Homo-oligomer: A and B are copies of this chain.
């Protein structure tokens, strides 16, 4: 017979999967001699079996529960439904991973019209007994029978009103008796059942309810949100009741072994005299700081202080625990690893290493890399949050907070930058780049987590709320509507990019605090990691910024953004509209000095480190205007007819620009464009080298699918580089490589590697082509897919290992077969996402490249991957 039930102490934290977090910890605490009220845990396996059997108990479960109840009865001398010494228990769910969305707790189980009288007699406190009883009916009714909470509350309110009192504590035993009668009637009326008297039936129903709660909507939603698998099941903990509400020598409270907000090593916690746990949580009475217990309950306080240190020494991590004092006796009801802010997490990890509690590896493994984001951006002042008037909610597209005056065009943003502005658009396009740079934050009404606005904002480390469908932007009228609120140009708004919230007015922000501990932790991480961490940066400013965050190179320097700035766009358009190569070259000659300047700046900023410059990527039509009035203006500027311009625009139109005439396809058909870029790169590099700056340019060919493209492009780069170096009379070492972003490139990586000197996976586009998902359009169904479990995660956020990952691994294997020392990186959005970084480590990549603000996250994730999977 399988063991379905464990008495506390039979198992410990090793058995977390089987006993759930709570059960395992109660077992563990019992084992190490902490004062835990006795109890037992029904395993998660029993829950899984419950579902397998069509919501029936596993064979043997009933008898094992029976046995364990007998043990409990033996241990306490109490018996279920006993007329002298009735046993009361709590029933709690407890999954492997803590899930606040699930069924909570049933307390005081075992009470009925008989046992309540004995309880009243034995405690000499009738009021307490009936209060406990009504609490039990209320909880059981709510969480087991599914009676609306509000029904009970209403009865309670009416009773208090009738008695003219404000607090529950002001009600008498008789009042409670009356309330109990009404509660039972409510249950009968609502659910058509008599409230069960038999404690064993109560227990049985509660266990069923806990099992069933595993698949209630809240729980499913919580799991979805937190990526918890659906097949783990929950354990059920049945534990003897202790009472914190047995008078002023009783209390209940929660504690943290260190400060969860700051990480300070101090006795953190709070308690309530004469109360049950739910009173603390409910927040009706204001609990006191744990230190006040020293005076109020000195003996228990001393015990508790000892427990603080026992817990930390035993668990070697900050603990969050619950306790109850029943008539002066302290009981531990729960302990678990405490949640903490990023700041606190870092401080605790570093301190614990100093204290010798954990080693550096453990410290590094303990921080959730994604959490570091909190440390890297301005945040809304938490103190002011209550005052926020939230007028819309969109996607948390790029973290941090921003305050500024609303503006509705990129030009306005650029012009009014000094006033602090927030750029509000229906959606952004490459033409808005300058305005996005100038703005404090970006708000769009359309687009997903990987829309243009979101991607660019994250790249800039700028706060962005995207796809905020609550707002309607009228760009002509320069205003947006959000519900009843109208925000006009110049009105202040505040964004919380971490939450996706849009607020009216000017909210106070706090600066990120990058403490010394953070630096220490990062240093440790660097000791362990194998993967290089590079950055995606298009400007010297971003490059410098990323170096401060520890970037070891630039993995992606996009050149197209550079084409939009100021006067350049005119030359770009002139080039596009030229009728022949000669005309294009004339226009390109105008662009050359700009590009040379760009590259000079970025190569200089990264001196000594590699800079991977991607040649022009987007289709040419992206550089032409779309709106009629802009077209008219451009035609006038260019001195051509609107018709001819429109014709040209039409001829460049593409049905699927993502799969269109872009990247190296442009480079092969119009080599002069890339030649200008290569010339600019090498002129800048040679000049810097002559100035004594160590430069490492890497030229990356985008949108490549065939070895012959690589052959042509490598020749183009080499020829131009040779020509420039000869003219400048100096030599610069460089590589020519490929952005691996098409399935065909991955599938034929062995051939491509004959020419390519490095690979860099562009996993954004690779995800688009592998799935056949357009990033710009997939918003219409991806959320629905995740909702319906068709996809577990958004593959644009977390690298899809089965499909895209398979291509990456194939390419790594084939590429290195041809060129064993091939340098291989990733420069898609995934390069800064911890689980994708882990994959990159496992796949044997050389480096990941991510936006500057994610560099520390990637460093930590890379270290964790190396610690988990060994150095590859």
A790 interface contact, C-beta 8 A: yes
Cα of A703 to Cα of B771 in the assembled complex, Å = 9
CB neighbours of A669 from chain B (8 A): 780-781, 784
User: Which residue from B668, B748, B765 sits with its C-beta under 8 Å from A784?
Assistant: B668
Closest chain-B Cβ to A489's Cβ sits at a distance in Å of 24
Pick the contact of A654 from B668, B712, B748, B774 — CB < 8 Å? B774
How long is the Cα–Cα vector from A788 to B706 in the complex, in angstroms?
13
Q: What residue in chain B is nearest A804 (Cβ atoms)? A: B744
* Stretch of A175-183, A655-663, A718-726 that contacts chain B: A655-663
Q: Is A208 an interface residue (CB 8 A)?
A: no
Cβ of A513 to closest chain B Cβ, rounded Å: 41
Contacts of A661 in B (CB 8 A): 777-778, 780-781
Q: Which chain A residues numbered 121 to 153 have a C-beta less than 8 Å away from chain B?
A: none
Known: A655-B777, A659-B656, A661-B777. A770 touches B769 (CB 8 A): yes
Given contacts A743-B769, A784-B669, are A658 and B655 in contact (CB under 8 A)?
A: yes
Chain B residues whose C-beta falls within 8 Å of the C-beta of A705 in the assembled complex: 770-773, 803
Tell whether A741 is near chain B: CB-to-CB under 8 Å: yes
Q: A771 to chain B: which residues have CB within 8 Å? A: 705-706, 742, 744
In angstroms, Cα B771 to Cα A741, docked, is: 10
Residues of the B chain whose Cβ atoms lie less than 8 Å from the Cβ of A791: 706, 708
Contact A655 B747 (CB under 8 A): no
- Residue from B659, B773, B777, B806 in contact with A777 in the complex, judged by beta carbons closer than 8 Å: B659
Determine the distance from Cα of A742 to Cα of B751 in the docked complex, in whole angstroms: 22
Question: Closest chain B residue to A656 by CB distance?
Answer: B774
Q: A665: CB under 8 A from chain B?
A: yes
Given the complex, which residues of B lie within 8 Å of A785, measured CB to CB?
A: 665, 668
Are B789 and A772 in touch, CB under 8 angstroms? Answer: no
Q: What is the bound-complex CA distance between A769 and B743, given in angstroms? A: 7
Q: Is A637 an interface residue, CB under 8 A from the partner? A: no
- CB-contacts of A753-779 with B (<8 A): 765, 768-774, 776-778
- The distance in angstroms between the C-alpha atoms of A742 and B807, with both chains bound, is 13
Bound form: Cα–Cα A655–B430 in Å? 14
Q: Which residues of the partner chain B approach A741 to less than 8 Å between Cβ atoms?
A: 772
> Are A768 and B659 in touch, CB under 8 angstroms?
yes
B656, B665, B781: the one within 8 Å of A776 (CB): B656
Residues of B within 8 A of A665 (CB): 781, 785
State which residues 765-820 of A face B: CB under 8 Å. 765, 768-774, 776-778, 780-781, 784-785, 788-791, 800, 802-804, 806-807
A709 at the B interface (CB under 8 A): yes
Min CB gap A344→B, angstroms? 38
Give the chain B neighbours of A668 by CB distance below 8 A: 781, 784-785, 788, 790
The smallest C-beta distance from A786 to any residue of chain B, in angstroms, reads 11
The answer to whether B743 touches A807 (Cβ under 8 A) is: yes
The reply to whether B659 and A772 contact each other, CB–CB distance below 8 Å, is yes
B708 and A774: CB pair below 8 A?
no
In contact, A744 and B768 (Cβ under 8 angstroms): no
For residue A639, give the distance in angstroms from its CB to the closest CB of chain B: 25
A765 to B741, CA, bound (A): 17
* Docked-complex contact A772 and B742, CB < 8 angstroms: yes
Contact pick for A658, options B659, B770, B790, B802, CB 8 Å: B659
Task: Tell whether, in the assembled complex, residue A743 and residue B803 are in contact, meaning their CB atoms are under 8 Å apart.
Answer: yes
CB 8 Å contact bits of A198-222 with B (1 = contact, 0 = none): 0000000000000000000000000
Q: How many Å from the CB of A825 to the closest CB on chain B?
A: 20
Number of interface residues of A (CB under 8 A): 49
Is there an interface contact between A772 and B703, defined as CB atoms closer than 8 Å?
yes
- Whole-angstrom CA separation of A742 from B803 in the bound complex: 10
| In the bound complex, CA of A769 to CA of B767 (Å) | 10
Cα separation A790 to B659 with both chains bound (whole Å): 18
Partner of A712, one of B656, B744, B788: B788
On chain B, the residues within 8 Å of A655 by CB distance are 657-658, 774, 776-777
Chain B residues with CB under 8 A of A774: 654-660
A residues 652-684 touching B (CB-CB < 8 Å): 654-661, 665, 668-669
CB distance from A448 to the nearest CB of B (A): 12
CA distance A785 to B664 in the complex (A): 11
CA distance A220 to B79 in the complex (A): 99
Known A784-B669, A788-B668; judge A773-B803 contact (CB<8 A).
no
CA–CA, A655 and B654, complex, Å: 9
Given B742, B765, B770, which contacts A747 in the complex, CB threshold below 8 Å?
B770
Roughly how many angstroms separate A656 CA and B618 CA in the complex, as a whole number?
Answer: 14
**Best-surrounded residue of A656, A709, A741, A769 (most CB of chain B within 10 A):** A656
Docked Cα-Cα span, A654 to B654, in Å, equals: 12
- Residues of chain B with a CB closer than 8 A to A743's CB: 743, 769-770, 772, 803, 807
The answer to whether B770 and A744 have CB atoms under 8 Å apart is yes
The 0/1 profile, CB within 8 Å of B marked 1, for residues 692-715 of chain A is 000000000001011011001000
Known A-B contacts A708-B791, A743-B803, A784-B669; the reply to A660 vs B777 at CB < 8 A is yes
Closest-by-CB residue of B relative to A782 is: B665
Contact (Cβ within 8 A) A772 B772: no
Give the residues in chain B near A781, CB-CB below 8 Å: 661, 665, 668-669
Given A765-B772, A772-B765, A656–B744 Cβ distance below 8 Å? no
* In the bound complex, CA of A790 to CA of B664 (Å): 11
Residues of chain B contacted by A751 (CB below 8 angstroms): 802
* A669 CA / B791 CA spacing, docked (Å): 13
The answer to whether B708 touches A659, judged by C-beta atoms less than 8 angstroms apart, is: no
Residues of B near A657 (CB, < 8 A) are 655-656, 774, 777
Q: How far is the CA of A776 from the CA of B773 in the complex (A)?
A: 17
Q: Shortest Cβ distance from A770 into chain B, in angstroms? A: 5
Residue of B at shortest CB range from A710?
B790
User: In the assembled complex, which residues on chain B have CB atoms less than 8 Å from the CB atom of A802?
Assistant: 744, 747-748, 751
Q: Is the CB of A748 within 8 A of B659?
A: no
A184 to B: closest C-beta gap in Å: 42
Q: Are A790 and B654 in touch, CB under 8 angstroms?
A: no
Q: Contact flags (1/0) for A724-750 with B, using CB distance below 8 Å?
A: 000000000000000001111001100
A706 touches B659 (CB 8 A): no
Residues of chain B contacted by A777 (CB below 8 angstroms): 654-657, 659-661
Instruction: Name A781's closest neighbour in chain B (CB-CB).
Output: B665
Query: Given A743-B807, A781-B668, A803-B744, A773 and B659 touching (CB < 8 A)?
Result: yes
Whether B790 contacts A712 by the Cβ 8 Å rule is yes
Given contacts A668-B788, A706-B803, 19 further A-B contacts (CB under 8 A): A655-B774, A658-B659, A659-B772, A659-B778, A660-B774, A661-B777, A661-B781, A665-B781, A705-B770, A705-B772, A705-B773, A741-B772, A743-B772, A744-B802, A747-B802, A748-B802, A748-B803, A765-B772, A769-B770
List 16 A–B pairs whose Cβ atoms lie within 8 Å, in order of A's numbering: A654-B776, A655-B657, A656-B657, A656-B776, A661-B777, A661-B778, A661-B780, A665-B785, A668-B788, A669-B784, A705-B770, A705-B771, A712-B788, A743-B772, A744-B772, A747-B770
Q: Name A residues whose Cβ lies closer than 8 Å to a Cβ of B.
A: 654-661, 665, 668-669, 703, 705-706, 708-709, 712, 741-744, 747-748, 751, 765, 768-774, 776-778, 780-781, 784-785, 788-791, 800, 802-804, 806-807
Per CB-CB distance, the 3 closest pairs between chain A and chain B, nearest first, are A659-B774, A656-B774, A744-B803
